[in-house]
């Protein structure tokens, strides 16, 4: 699927601010893919579709999680997580993208997982550091992302966990598992 066609599809699924964010994630993902030798086309498509379900009604996402036997513990945690796995499901069903790597990167762009591939990492980090993001710690992760993508991922996950803790919000277990796996990986190096 060509970029323009993909962008036209997602533009219909979201409001202008979310679309601008999507463009920023796409451009950042392409840049990171070029730096780290990932498949640029897959990074581009995963980035374009990463928030495909973000603007869907909560009730629709909840129904899909239940009907498609997605991890039911998602329903016990922040609804902000839901659009990622639901989005991957809808991208496959509605758009026809079946590439497992792209769908996995979309699925885990909010929570992470223990065995993050290069593409998963690029989409997670690109979503975190895209140019429109302005919050404490983002600039440090942007700098890290240019030289050490795994360190950038670890810092982004640390920042996310810290932010959620300060807000007294529950933290999805996969995010902790991601953190632990990255920390162990760093200790081996």
DSSP string, 63-115: HHHHHTT--GGGGGS-GGGTHHHHHHHHIIIII----HHHHHHHHTTTT--TT
Please compute the mean of the pLDDT values over residues 73-82 and round it to a whole number. 94
In angstroms, the CA 93 to CA 187 distance is 40
Both tokens of residue 177?
């598992």
| Domain CATH code at residue 12 | 1.10.3210.10
C-alpha torsion sign, points 58, 135, 48, 11: positive
Per-residue pLDDT band for 186 (boundaries 50, 70, 90) equals confident
pTM to 2 decimal places: 0.96
Residue 11 · residue 19 · CB < 8 Å: yes
Please compute the mean of the pLDDT values over residues 8-14 and round it to a whole number. 97
pLDDT at 85 over 70: yes
The pLDDT of residue 154:
97
> 38: helix, coil or strand?
coil
What percentage of the chain exceeds 70 in pLDDT? 99
pLDDT at 189 over 80: no
pLDDT at 137 over 70: yes
Residue 52 · residue 87 · CB < 8 Å: yes
Please compute the mean of the pLDDT values over residues 59-79 and round it to a whole number. 95
How many separate domains does the chain show?
1
Q: Please list, in sequence order, all residues whose beta carbon lies within 8 angstroms of the beta carbon of residue 188, skipping any fewer than 6 positions away.
A: none
Q: Which domain holds residue 22?
A: 3-188
Per residue in 99-122, pLDDT tens?
A: 999 999 999 999 999 999 999 999
pLDDT at 169 over 90: yes
Q: How far apart, in Å, are the Cα atoms of 181 and each of 20, 65, 73, 129, 165?
A: 32, 26, 20, 21, 20
């Amino acid at each position: 699927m060509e970029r323009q066609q993909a962008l036209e599809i997602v533009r219909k699924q979201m409001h202008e601010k979310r679309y601008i964010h999507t463009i920023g994630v796409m451009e950042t993902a392409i840049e990171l893919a070029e730096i780290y030798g990932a498949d640029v086309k897959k990074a581009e498509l995963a980035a374009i579709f990463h928030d495909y379900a973000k603007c869907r009604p909560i009730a629709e996402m909840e129904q899909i999680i239940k009907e498609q036997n997605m991890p039911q513990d998602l329903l016990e945690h922040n609804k902000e997580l839901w659009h990622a796995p639901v989005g991957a499901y809808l991208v496959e069903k509605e758009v026809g993208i079946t590439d497992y790597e792209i769908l996995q990167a979309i699925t885990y762009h909010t929570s992470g997982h223990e065995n993050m591939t290069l593409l998963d990492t690029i989409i997670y980090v690109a979503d975190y550091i895209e140019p429109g993001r302005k919050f404490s710690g983002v600039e440090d992760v942007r700098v890290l992302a240019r030289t050490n993508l795994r360190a950038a991922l670890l810092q982004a996950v640390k920042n996310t966990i810290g932010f959620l803790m300060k807000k007294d919000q529950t933290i999805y277990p996969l995010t902790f598992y991601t953190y632990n796996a990255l920390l162990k990986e760093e200790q081996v190096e």
